[in-house]
Amino acid sequence: MERWPKLLHGPVELSDCVAQGQVDQDLVVLAATLTAGKRSVGVEVVVNGREVDVIELHPAPEDALAVLRNGFEVVEAQLTPAEFRDQVETALIVRADSAAWIRERVPDLLKLGRDPRPDLAERAAQLRRWLGLPDYEPLPRVPSAEPLPLVLPPPAPDTGLWLAVALAEPDDAIWRRLEVRSDVTLAGLHRILAAAFDRDERQLHRFETAYGVLGSDVPGGEGDRPDDEVTLGQVVTSPGQRLVYEAGRWRHWIRVEQLVDLPEAPSCLDGERAAPPAECEDERSYEMLLEALRDPDDEDNEGLLEELGGFGFDPEWFDGEVVDERLSRLSRSGDPFGG
C-alpha cells in the first residue's frame, strides 16, 4: 500500500459511515469512505474495548466496509459523518491517554521493543487531519495529580435506544437486546439490567464510560460520579457506541444498536441463554456448574449443584416474555422508565 501522506490531497469528504460489531464481542469496526478530489479510499478503525487498536486504509473503499462480514454474525448501523467523527475522536483520546499512562508509569517498556503498533500514533495524527479533528495532548496521569473533573456533555434530545448487552466471560454468549429511553439514569439502567438478567439490584455495580467510572456503589469509592446523576444519553449518543457494566464480579459490555422512537417502558426484544444463578459469583463457579450439569448423578456433582444453584437450572433457557414481566413489575413499582 502507498504511504499515507500520498493517498489524499486537499479537502476530504466523509461518506458511507458505518459501525460494525459482533453480537458477543466487545469489538467494533468504524468504517467510512474518504474522498479528496477524484480519489476515494476506505478507512477502517478498529476499536477494542474503548480505544483505537488498528487504523487501516484500503484503496478500494468497499474493503473497509466489509471487515467483519466474512464468516461472522455482524450487527451493522449507519452513522452520520458527525457521529463517525465523534466516535473516532473518543476512541483516539482513550488510546492517547493509555499511551501517556504507559510512558509515565512504565517508561522503559517501549525501549524494550514491546510496542505492537509503532506506526499507530502517526496514523492517528494523519486521520485527525483528514477528519478535521483537533490535535490532542494527553493530560498527565501521575499518581500525585488531583483527579480530573468529570465534564459530561449535555443530554441529546430524548430518544429510544436498542441496547445489546452481554456477559463478557462465558464462551457461549449470554445476552439480551433491550429497548430503553436515553433519558434513563444509569442507576435506572442498572435496575433494568438486574431485571433482564434476574439479578439482585442491590449488588455492587459500576459503569465504565469514556467519561470515567460512574456508580454510587463502587467498592473503594472509585466512582467519579454517582450513577443517579448521569443519564444514558450523556455517555452514549449513537449506534456503535459502547460502555462496560460491572455487577458483582460479572462484567458486561453494552452497545447501542439503533435509535428508535421513545418507548413507553423498557422491554426485552431478544436474547439467548439463562443468566448464571445467583449462587455463581464469577466465571469460575459458573464453569464448575456447567461441568456438574453434564453428569448430575455423580455424587460429587450433586453437592456442587446444590451449592451453585444448579437444581432445575437450564443454561440454554431464555424466555423474553418472562424478562418483560420482570421489567413490567419494575415499571409498576415506580418510575415507568426504570429510574
Q: What CATH number has the domain bearing residue 189?
A: 3.10.290.30
Shared-domain flag, residues 222 and 324: yes
Residues 6+ apart with CB under 8 A from 1: 57, 59
**Cell numbers that stand for 227 in this block:** 450513577
Shared-domain flag, residues 181 and 323: yes
User: How far is it, in rounded angstroms, from Cα 196 to Cα 327?
Assistant: 7
Shared-domain flag, residues 12 and 51: yes
Shared-domain flag, residues 268 and 164: yes
Say if 58 falls within a structural domain. yes
288-328 tens-digit pLDDT = 888 888 887 777 777 787 788 778 888 899 999 999 999 98
The residue segments making up the domain with residue 312 are 280-317
* Count of domains observed in the chain: 3
Residue 2: the pLDDT is 46
Instruction: Identify the bridge partners of residue 57 per DSSP, sorted by sequence position.
Output: 43
| Rg from Cα positions in the chain | 22
Shared-domain flag, residues 96 and 228: no
Shared-domain flag, residues 250 and 292: no
Shared-domain flag, residues 323 and 180: yes
Shared-domain flag, residues 175 and 100: no
Say if 152 falls within a structural domain. no
Q: Starting at the edge strand that comes first in sequence, how are the strands of the sheet with 74-78 ordered? A: 51-58, 39-48, 27-36, 13-22, 74-78
Residue 165: the pLDDT is 92
Q: In whole angstroms, how far apart are CA 181 and each of 60, 198, 242, 339? A: 38, 20, 16, 10
Say if 195 falls within a structural domain. yes
Contact 102, 115 (CB under 8 A): no
Residue 115 DSSP one-character state:
-
Enumerate the H helices of the chain as residue ranges. Answer: 61-64, 81-105, 120-131, 186-196, 232-235, 283-293, 299-307, 320-332
Say if 144 falls within a structural domain. no
Residue 115: the pLDDT is 53
Say if 108 falls within a structural domain. yes
Q: Are strands 205-209 and 13-22 parallel, antiparallel or unpaired?
A: unpaired
Say if 143 falls within a structural domain. no
Shared-domain flag, residues 328 and 287: no
Shared-domain flag, residues 299 and 269: no
User: How far is it, in rounded angstroms, from Cα 76 to Cα 91?
Assistant: 18
Q: Which residues of the chain have pLDDT under 50?
A: 1-2, 141-149, 218-222, 336-338
Q: In whole angstroms, how far apart are CA 280 and each of 146, 155, 194, 316? A: 38, 37, 15, 16
What global pTM score does this model have?
A: 0.63
Contact 338, 231 (CB under 8 A): no
Residue 23 corresponds to which amino acid? V
**Nearest 5°: CA angle at 52, between 48 and 56?**
105
Residue 34: the pLDDT is 93
Q: In whole angstroms, how far apart are CA 191 and each of 2, 203, 204, 227? A: 51, 10, 12, 11
Shared-domain flag, residues 60 and 89: yes
Residue 144: the pLDDT is 43
Residue 300: the pLDDT is 75
Say if 138 falls within a structural domain. no
Residue 213: the pLDDT is 82
Shared-domain flag, residues 326 and 221: yes
Residue 145: the pLDDT is 43
Residue 265: the pLDDT is 92
Say if 309 falls within a structural domain. yes
Residue 160: the pLDDT is 95
Residue 15: the pLDDT is 93
Contact 87, 19 (CB under 8 A): yes
Among 116, 131, 146, where does a domain finish? 131
